[in-house]
């Protein structure tokens, strides 16, 4: 196996960000990719106007790129926020307002994976209260995802970079996945296995793959240290992706790394051009 046997997509919220949003799908296509993913692109609003949604869909369609992953509204990304759904008050309300908007946009593009970032702990707020709110909102999100034939993704981040985020291990994220599935009975909540975040947490990534590959709905990669392209750090990414394939995962692998001090179009020299277009 190897890199050439994987199904890669490009995260347009961390790569090609030197370009305006609507130019990024075409840039990804020019680099040879046919699939992309996005964090919620409108960080200032969970409910952009229909014209903005239509413009992004047109950019994706015109470029011949398929959207395969989309975050629900998660606050300021990149920035200090790590999600909104467990944050009481305005942010939780904004997340709820976004659920159907994001699901409908995903459906219009054929996207079948929606990522719901959990949100930071809030000083002075009972963690149990936040967790109860999170479950309520994740249930709503799972039902919206099910309506369009999509999975709901729950992601573990890493403690060094996200010290207030409570899901900083694979077991913590899996526990939330299980709670959501138990509450909905839909079974469409899945683990987003981000190899960079797991490695930053010091987890045994091979062990996580062996334990949870069958519960994984999406994979993201970046090398460590540095969150750069494969080969810029010390992670055995090709080996780990082979382990995922051997464990039965045949889904998308999102390229969620920083291009470094070069244009994004030059940050894919590790991947043969023939391996960039995926069905």
Tell if the pTM clears 0.85, that is, is over it: yes
Higher pLDDT, 218 or 4: 218
Model pLDDT for residues 191-203, shown as the tens digit of each residue: 999 999 999 999 9
* 224 three-class SS: coil
Q: Catalytic: 256?
A: yes
For residue 106, what pLDDT band results from cuts at 50, 70 and 90? Answer: very high
Q: Is the pLDDT of residue 1 over 70?
A: no
Model pLDDT for residues 121-167, shown as the tens digit of each residue: 999 999 999 999 999 999 999 999 999 999 999 999 999 999 999 99
Model pLDDT for residues 53-91, shown as the tens digit of each residue: 999 999 999 999 999 999 999 999 999 999 999 999 999
Q: What is the mean pLDDT of residues 161-183?
A: 98
Residue 222, classified by CB atoms within 10 Å of its CB into exposed (0-12), middle (13-18) or buried (19+), is buried
Q: Is the pLDDT of residue 278 over 80?
A: no
Other Cβ atoms within 10 Å of 104 Cβ, number: 13
> How many domains are contained in the chain?
1
- b/e per residue, 240-253, with b = 16+ CB within 10 A? bbbbbbeeebebbb
Contact 196, 257 (CB under 8 A): yes
Contact 33, 77 (CB under 8 A): no
- How much is the mean pLDDT over the chain? 97
Q: Catalytic: 123?
A: no
Q: Is the pLDDT of residue 186 over 70?
A: yes
DSSP state at residue 192: E
The reported pLDDT for the residue numbered 11 is 98
Rounded Cα gap, residues 145 and 100, in angstroms = 9
Write down the catalytic residue from 37, 91, 155, 243. Answer: 155
Q: Is the pLDDT of residue 272 over 80?
A: yes
Q: What is the mean pLDDT of residues 170-187?
A: 98
The residue segments making up the domain with residue 239 are 3-275
Contact 218, 193 (CB under 8 A): yes
Locus of tokens 């039902």: 143
Q: What is the mean pLDDT of residues 259-265?
A: 97
Q: CATH number of the domain at 158, please.
A: 3.20.20.150
Q: Is the pLDDT of residue 207 over 60?
A: yes
Write down the catalytic residue from 37, 203, 243, 256. Answer: 256
The reported pLDDT for the residue numbered 279 is 54
Count of positions (residues) in the chain: 279
Model pLDDT for residues 225-239, shown as the tens digit of each residue: 999 999 999 999 999
């Amino acid at each position: 196996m190897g890199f050439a046997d994987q199904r890669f997509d490009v995260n347009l919220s961390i790569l090609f960000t030197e370009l305006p949003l609507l130019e990024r799908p075409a840039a990804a296509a020019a680099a040879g990719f046919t699939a992309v993913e996005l964090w919620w692109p409108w960080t200032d609003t969970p409910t952009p106007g229909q014209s903005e949604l239509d413009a992004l869909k047109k950019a994706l369609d015109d470029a011949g790129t398929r959207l395969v992953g989309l975050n629900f509204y998660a606050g300021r990304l990149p920035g200090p926020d790590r999600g909104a759904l467990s944050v009481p008050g305005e942010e939780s309300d904004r997340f709820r307002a976004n659920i159907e908007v994001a699901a409908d946009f995903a459906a219009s593009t054929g996207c079948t994976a929606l990522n719901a970032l959990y949100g930071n702990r809030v000083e002075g707020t009972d963690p149990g209260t936040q967790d109860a709110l999170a479950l309520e909102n994740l249930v709503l999100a799972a039902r919206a995802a099910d309506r369009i034939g999509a999975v709901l993704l729950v992601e573990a981040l890493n403690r060094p970079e996200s010290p207030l985020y409570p899901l900083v291990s694979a077991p913590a994220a899996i526990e939330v996945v299980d709670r959501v599935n138990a509450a909905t009975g839909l079974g469409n909540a899945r683990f987003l296995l981000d190899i960079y975040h797991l490695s930053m947490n010091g987890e045994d990534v091979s062990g996580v793959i062996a334990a949870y590959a069958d519960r994984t709905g999406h994979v993201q990669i970046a090398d460590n240290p540095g969150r750069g392209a494969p080969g810029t750090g010390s992670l055995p990414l090709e080996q780990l992706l082979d382990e995922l394939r051997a464990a039965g995962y045949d889904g998308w692998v999102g390229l969620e790394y920083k291009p470094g001090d070069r244009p994004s179009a030059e940050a894919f020299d590790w991947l043969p051009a023939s391996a960039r277009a995926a069905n």
